[in-house]
Amino acid sequence: MSFFNSLGRSMGRKGVPTTPTAPVPNGKSLQTANAAAQSSESSRKKDEVAVYAPPAQPKLFLSSPFCDAALVKGSLKTLVALPKYIDVMEWVALNMFDFYNNVNTFYGAIAERCTSKNCPTMTAGDQLVYTWVDANHKHVKLPAATYIDFVFTWIQNLLEDQSIFPTKAGLPFPPGFPATCKHMYRQLLRVFAHIYQAHFEDMLNLRIEPHLNSLFAHYLSFGAEFDVLDKKELKGSPSSPTGIGYLYDKWKDMGRLD
């Protein structure tokens, strides 16, 4: 199911934050975001997503038994599929809320290890560092903890905004809701990427890697089901691939994401 095709992408509401900016995210209008989403969707249809060769020395999360650890065995399709009689917007909103809280909880478990000394940049691969777009539209390198704090603050503000995530009966979802969710998904994906790249050993020490793997597999399956997962964002580029891109390929080969 395509979340965007089901709900449309046009007529975005201006002034609603979609791309976070520091220190308090303001972002682009949903109209601009929807246009960008359409362009991205078109590009994905034209270009095949590259499959990159795994690193010579794979990370622990790419090695057995750690990449095999999971609480959920078998297909995740039934877990992410839209339930009968449930509105697709309600379902996506509920899941984005849950994913945000779960990712926040996992990061909280290792937050004391994510210091400016240990993580001076928001790494997601051996050659990949995410930058933050500030209020002047400049790309700024930030410590990972600062970057992630900005992400969580931005998403929390969106979730508390009744004009974007309505919780009262009779309040409609905005036309640009799919684009907003896609931006939220992208930023949470980056948090996952950093956790795996820089803190998987911390997860092992806490013995919660099966929980993390299960949550991330659920996240990937949901993103694919509702068309909010951008494969190019997931995998990075040939010169700067993401670690989680390799994990995605490995899980696909194992049939975990089918």
Annotated binding-site positions for Zn(2+): 114, 119, 194, 199
Any idea of the CA torsion for 87, 92, 98, 101, to the nearest 10 degrees?
-140
Question: How many whole angstroms separate alpha carbon 43 and alpha carbon 198?
Answer: 30
Q: How far apart are the first and last CA of the chain?
A: 14
| Known binding residues | 114, 119, 194, 199
Question: Alpha-carbon distance 9 to 28, whole Å?
Answer: 15
For residue 210, how many C-alpha atoms fall within 13 Å in the half-sphere facing its CB? 7
Three-class secondary structure of residue 133 per DSSP: strand
Closest by CA position to 241, among listed 148, 120, 124, 122 = 124
